[in-house]
Amino acid sequence: MKAVFFERPGGLEVLRYGDFDDPIPNEGEALVRVKAGGLNRLDIWLREDRDNIRNIPMPHIPGSDVSGTVEKIVGQAGFRIGQDVVLNPAIPCGLCPRCKKGQPCELVKIFGVKNQGGYAEYVVAPIAQLYPKPPHLSFIEAAAFPLTMLTAWHMLAGRAHVQPGETVFIWGASGGLGSAAIPVARYLGARIIAAAKSEEQARRIRELGVDETVVYTRDDVDQKVKSLTHGQGVDVVFESVGQKTWPTTLAMLRPFGRVVIAGTTTGDVGTQDLSDLYVRQLSMLGARMGTKEEFETVLRLIASGHLKPIIDRTFPLSQAAEAQRRMVDGKHIGKIVLEIP
Ligand SMILES: NC(=O)c1ccc[n+]([C@@H]2O[C@H](COP(=O)([O-])OP(=O)(O)OC[C@H]3O[C@@H](n4cnc5c(N)ncnc54)[C@H](OP(=O)(O)O)[C@@H]3O)[C@@H](O)[C@H]2O)c1
Ligand SMILES: [Zn+2]
């Protein structure tokens, strides 16, 4: 099959488009003919071997978001050959104490890290991770929501319990994860303030359903947020930028505010005044993808049209390096998706 892979960590130049052995499904797995694959920042972390901790199989095919068609099934499954499917990329370990009690896994794994991912004509996936693709959804849309919309839902609904009328501040609203938070926060009935890096980006983000924007490269974000919230601050901050934004994140929270964090794009180190935490009674919530039940909720809301992924643009599989370059350069608004004809 054709695939995009790298044999050693490095820059965009290590990504190769070429022939790769066809994957073979084992018991409990399906072979899926990939039609579209979403890009995630994770694909870049893996290629660069950020933090040198992933220990991934080499050569490695990245890609956590997959939609496609069932080609072969080994074992019992409620699918037929030729059925259109979408993959839930959050794979529970099945072994931890929480899994054994039927609770959300404490060590949930991401599809495309320890196994070969979706930048390819075929993937092998556990049958339990596959769901019928909602018929009105294109393959591109179906590959644009799983990882990010699941995570955004888990962050805002599952962890921060956002209530109607609350104000949510979204960092990185142009990114894959942040853009997924826009429809989720809207669905939950929140007022949304979002960060943008330019006036032009702010205008486009407002068109996507954000109520107010702050240009973080120009404005004093904390001051602007305070003036937009009658001096109160926001109820919830949606964080994935990390080190660069953390001090402002804490400053803009109102008393009893919550920050929910799923990533550290600009670095891991954040400091805070501990007395501030208890005096203002703030909550810090970590989030990592979401549960099976949350994926099913998101899929239902996508199928009914209540949630819609924001798509930046598509590239053919052979141009995956160009697609990643667009993400590295920060030119995208929403999800970048690879198409596999
Ligand atoms: N825990 C989980 O389950 C989970 C799931 C998905 C993603 N993540 C993490 O979430 C992060 C985002 O992933 P993604 O796929 O959405 O990446 P992405 O599409 O590249 O988005 C990154 C966003 O960060 C913003 N940003 C970068 N530097 C910034 C700065 N100095 N100040 C303010 N904003 C800044 C960018 O905005 P501008 O370009 O406009 O500045 C962009 O919107 C990554 O760290 C990823 O690992 C975690
Ligand atoms: Zn587990």
- pLDDT value of position 341: 87
User: Is the pLDDT assigned to residue 52 strictly greater than 70?
Assistant: no
pTM (whole model) above 0.95: yes
139 and 103 fall within a common domain: yes
Here the CATH number for the domain that contains residue 154 is: 3.40.50.720
196 and 101 fall within a common domain: no
Distance from the alpha carbon of residue 1 to the mean position of ligand 1, in angstroms? 31
Confidence class for position 188, pLDDT limits 50, 70, 90: very high
Here the CATH number for the domain that contains residue 107 is: 3.90.180.10
55 and 169 fall within a common domain: no
Confidence class for position 78, pLDDT limits 50, 70, 90: confident
Residue 291 belongs to some domain of the structure: no
Please indicate whether residue 330, judged by its CB atom, sits closer than 6 Å to ligand 1. yes
Residue 187 belongs to some domain of the structure: yes
Residue 296 belongs to some domain of the structure: no
Whose alpha carbon is nearest atom 26 of ligand 1?
A: 172
The helix or strand, by DSSP H or E, that contains position 126, with its residue range, turns out to be strand 122-126
- pLDDT value of position 201: 97
- pLDDT value of position 76: 78
Tokens of 44: 């870049």
Distance from the alpha carbon of residue 53 to the mean position of ligand 1, in angstroms? 20
- pLDDT value of position 246: 97
- pLDDT value of position 80: 93
Distance from the alpha carbon of residue 175 to the mean position of ligand 2, in angstroms? 29
User: Is the pLDDT assigned to residue 44 strictly greater than 90?
Assistant: yes
Distance from the alpha carbon of residue 301 to the mean position of ligand 2, in angstroms? 26
Neighbouring residues of 12: CB distance < 8 A, sequence distance ≥ 6: 47, 321, 324, 325, 328
Distance from the alpha carbon of residue 100 to the mean position of ligand 2, in angstroms? 7
111 and 6 fall within a common domain: yes
Q: What is the pLDDT of residues 194-234, one digit of tens each?
A: 999 999 999 999 999 999 999 999 999 999 999 999 999 99
* Mean pLDDT across the chain: 96
Distance from the alpha carbon of residue 13 to the mean position of ligand 1, in angstroms? 22
Residue 302 belongs to some domain of the structure: no
User: Quick one: average pLDDT of 96-115?
Assistant: 89
CA-CA distance, 10 to 188, in Å (whole number)?
Answer: 40
| CB contact at 8 A, 308 and 7 | no
- pLDDT value of position 43: 97
User: Is the pLDDT assigned to residue 77 strictly greater than 80?
Assistant: no
11 and 112 fall within a common domain: yes
Answer with the residue of higher pLDDT: 66 or 78.
66
Residue 301 belongs to some domain of the structure: no
CA-CA distance, 102 to 94, in Å (whole number)?
Answer: 9
17 and 138 fall within a common domain: yes
Q: What is the pLDDT of residues 132-141, one digit of tens each?
A: 999 999 999 9
**DSSP string of 269-332?**
-----HHHHHHTT-EEEE--S--HHHHHHHHHHHHTTSS---EEEEEEGGGHHHHHHHHHTT--
265 and 159 fall within a common domain: yes
- pLDDT value of position 50: 85
CA-CA distance, 41 to 22, in Å (whole number)?
Answer: 26
Please indicate whether residue 216, judged by its CB atom, sits closer than 6 Å to ligand 1. yes
CA-CA distance, 296 to 245, in Å (whole number)?
Answer: 32
Domain extent for 261: 149-286
Residue 38 belongs to some domain of the structure: yes
- pLDDT value of position 170: 98
Residue 292 belongs to some domain of the structure: no
Please indicate whether residue 154, judged by its CB atom, sits closer than 6 Å to ligand 1. no
Instruction: Work out which ligand 1 atom sits closest to the CA atom of 90.
Output: 3
- pLDDT value of position 287: 95
Distance from the alpha carbon of residue 103 to the mean position of ligand 2, in angstroms? 8
252 and 231 fall within a common domain: yes
Confidence class for position 53, pLDDT limits 50, 70, 90: low
- pLDDT value of position 94: 87
What residues have a C-beta under 5 A from ligand 2, the ion?
92-93, 96, 99, 105
Instruction: Work out which ligand 1 atom sits closest to the CA atom of 173.
Output: 43
- pLDDT value of position 75: 87
Please indicate whether residue 171, judged by its CB atom, sits closer than 6 Å to ligand 1. yes
Residue 197 belongs to some domain of the structure: yes
Instruction: Work out which ligand 1 atom sits closest to the CA atom of 242.
Output: 45
User: Is the pLDDT assigned to residue 93 strictly greater than 70?
Assistant: yes
CA dihedral (65, 66, 72, 77) positive or negative: positive
Whose alpha carbon is nearest atom 19 of ligand 1?
A: 175
182 and 313 fall within a common domain: no
Q: What percent of the chain has pLDDT over 90?
A: 91
Q: What is the pLDDT of residues 7-32, one digit of tens each?
A: 999 999 999 999 999 999 999 999 99
Residue 276 CB neighbour total at 10 angstroms: 12
321 and 267 fall within a common domain: no
174 and 245 fall within a common domain: yes
- pLDDT value of position 101: 85
Number of domains observed in the structure of the chain: 2
15 and 139 fall within a common domain: yes
Torsion (CA) 154, 269, 10, 332 in degrees, nearest 10: 50
Write down the H helix ranges in 88-241: 97-100, 139-144, 146-153, 176-187, 199-207, 221-228
CA-CA distance, 171 to 168, in Å (whole number)?
Answer: 10
